[in-house]
Amino acid sequence: MTKLLTLLLAASLNSHAATLAFKLKGQPSAAFSETQIKSRELKGLKAIDITLYNVFRGYERTYEGYDFFVLLDNVYGKDWRKQKKISFIAADGYNQFAFIPAMLNAAKNKAPYLVFSEKGKNGFTLIEKQGKLIDPGPLYLVWSNFSEADKASHADTLKWPYQLATISVD
């Protein structure tokens, strides 16, 4: 019964419409509603389905989303690649960041995807973290070309942030 209540609470907390904001040096650059993102076409990009191994969660899933670097090029122009850092800010304010040169270097054989759902689902499989069930949606950044042999930690250059609300380039 407790797990059911937790699931219902998690679903209700994440059922509100979300917006993803993009900032450049603290100034708004663009914002997209959850409806726009899930339309499968965003800023001239078409959504794709990508099957990949989630190194943090230890499973393979097929996700629906956008090539993240191409989306950043469309939002900021290619000059974002010359900036110092990128921050990934979750709906609850949690902030992860990566230094852009290090991230681009580490991503040489990998591709990032900003995903809005698992294929065939309305959202994502809930994640258990410290005894709590968490919905990684509405948006989750995932990376291709990881395998079961790869280890992952939160100190890695390639971040896997979820519940994304803001992406800020500085």
Q: For position 154, what pLDDT does the model report?
A: 62
Helix (H, G, I), strand (E, B) or coil at 17: coil
Per the structure, the count of domains in the chain is: 1
The one-letter amino acid code at 163 reads: Q
Q: For position 153, what pLDDT does the model report?
A: 63
Residue 40's domain comprises 2-169
CA dihedral 103, 109, 113, 117 (to 10 degrees): -130
Per-residue pLDDT of the chain (170 residues; tens, 9 = 90+): 444 333 333 443 444 458 999 999 999 999 999 999 999 999 999 999 999 998 888 899 999 999 999 999 999 999 999 999 999 999 999 999 999 999 999 999 999 999 999 999 999 999 988 999 999 999 999 999 988 787 766 668 899 999 999 999 99
**What are the strands of the beta sheet with 140-143, ordered from one edge?**
48-54, 59-67, 112-118, 140-143
Q: For position 13, what pLDDT does the model report?
A: 40
Instruction: Output the six-digit token pair for 67.
Output: 């090539």
Helix (H, G, I), strand (E, B) or coil at 86: strand
Residue 141 to residue 129: CA distance in whole angstroms: 18
